[in-house]
Amino acid sequence: MATTNTTPLAKALSTRPRQRGLLRNITPASRFYWVRVLLANPMAVASGLTLLVIITAAAAAPLLTSHDPTFLNPGIRLQGLSGEHWLGTDGNGSDVFARIIYGARVSLLVGLSVMLFAAAAGALLGLISGYYQRFDTPIMRVMDGLMSFPSILLAIAIMASLGPSTTNVIIALTVVYIPSIARLVRGMTLVTKQQAYVESARAIGVRDHVILRRYIFANTLSPLIVQCTFVVAFAIISEASLSFLGAGVPPGTPTWGNMLREGQRFMQISWWLAVFPGSALFMLVLALNLFGDGLRDALDPRMRTR
């Protein structure tokens, strides 16, 4: 992996001339080898492109539709699909297509923020807990405690205390997903710190924070990145669930969860209100999961699925 490239042995190995015969097919470890593996996987490429399309659509929302997602026009409420309103209108006469692409912004914002914050906090806690014996028990017991709640229930309880808002959804879901990342990084740290190169680094007097950063954290990076794609997917589903339950993003904001909530209310007469935002949610989560699988196969060959 990336870090071993810096050791003299690895350098010697990677500059070694190409072998013939039996070793012919073994390519030298390259820093970006995983990119090639990823690009050779059609599922990963397809899901990556889907993600790119969704992100672009969310970013370029005003260019894709001339409708204001929060514009209320009761005169045209609950209209079916038409040339003017591609995916119909909702109970307030707002354009469903516009609400879906603006809703993608909220989903992506929540998903990515939760992932970043949870990864940062979880990795730090995991590193400390795995490296320093005396912090291990207190940190991990609190993580166990947090993991004792079904995740959506903990999120609901936190949201009940904080009150509905997008920021609070991010805070609540970050708390919910920190433990899984802390556990993962701690496990990797416990294994890595036993390795000879970490011991030798300590023996020659490399300082703790350097060891943690350059020798241990660098090695947990691959599984961490893979886990992160799944955290994004979980966080997006959880945000939609919270909003659907009325405990997430406040009702006026266009989010997929809010749209599904309304969709269920008008289910008897307007099927499109639930079907389209739900399908968008399904596609985004599916693309994230498939991309995560592809990343895992590329970054961590030992975990490769058959």
Instruction: Name the site residues for other proteins (rule: CB under 8 A).
Output: 141-142, 144-146, 148-154, 156-163, 233, 237, 240-241, 244-247, 260, 263-264, 267-268, 271, 274-275, 278, 281-282, 285-286, 289-290, 293, 305-306
The runs of H, that is alpha helices, within the chain are: 8-14, 33-39, 42-59, 61-64, 96-131, 133-147, 151-162, 166-192, 196-203, 208-210, 218-245, 256-265, 272-299
290 neighbors 44 (Cβ within 8 angstroms): yes
Q: Give the shortest CB-222-to-other proteins separation in angstroms.
A: 20
Query: Is 4 or 50 the residue whose CB approaches other proteins more closely?
Result: 50
67 neighbors 83 (Cβ within 8 angstroms): no
Q: Give the shortest CB-176-to-other proteins separation in angstroms.
A: 10
Query: Is 65 or 151 the residue whose CB approaches other proteins more closely?
Result: 151
The phi, psi pair for 89, rounded to 5°, reads -125, 160
Query: Is 67 or 193 the residue whose CB approaches other proteins more closely?
Result: 193
Task: Give one word for 207, left, alpha or beta, with left for phi > 0 and alpha for psi -120 to 50.
Answer: beta
Q: Give the shortest CB-243-to-other proteins separation in angstroms.
A: 11
HSE-CB at 229 with a 13 A cutoff on CA atoms is: 23
Query: Is 71 or 271 the residue whose CB approaches other proteins more closely?
Result: 271
Q: Give the shortest CB-112-to-other proteins separation in angstroms.
A: 18
Q: Give the shortest CB-61-to-other proteins separation in angstroms.
A: 22
Query: Is 132 or 282 the residue whose CB approaches other proteins more closely?
Result: 282
Give 95's DSSP letter.
B
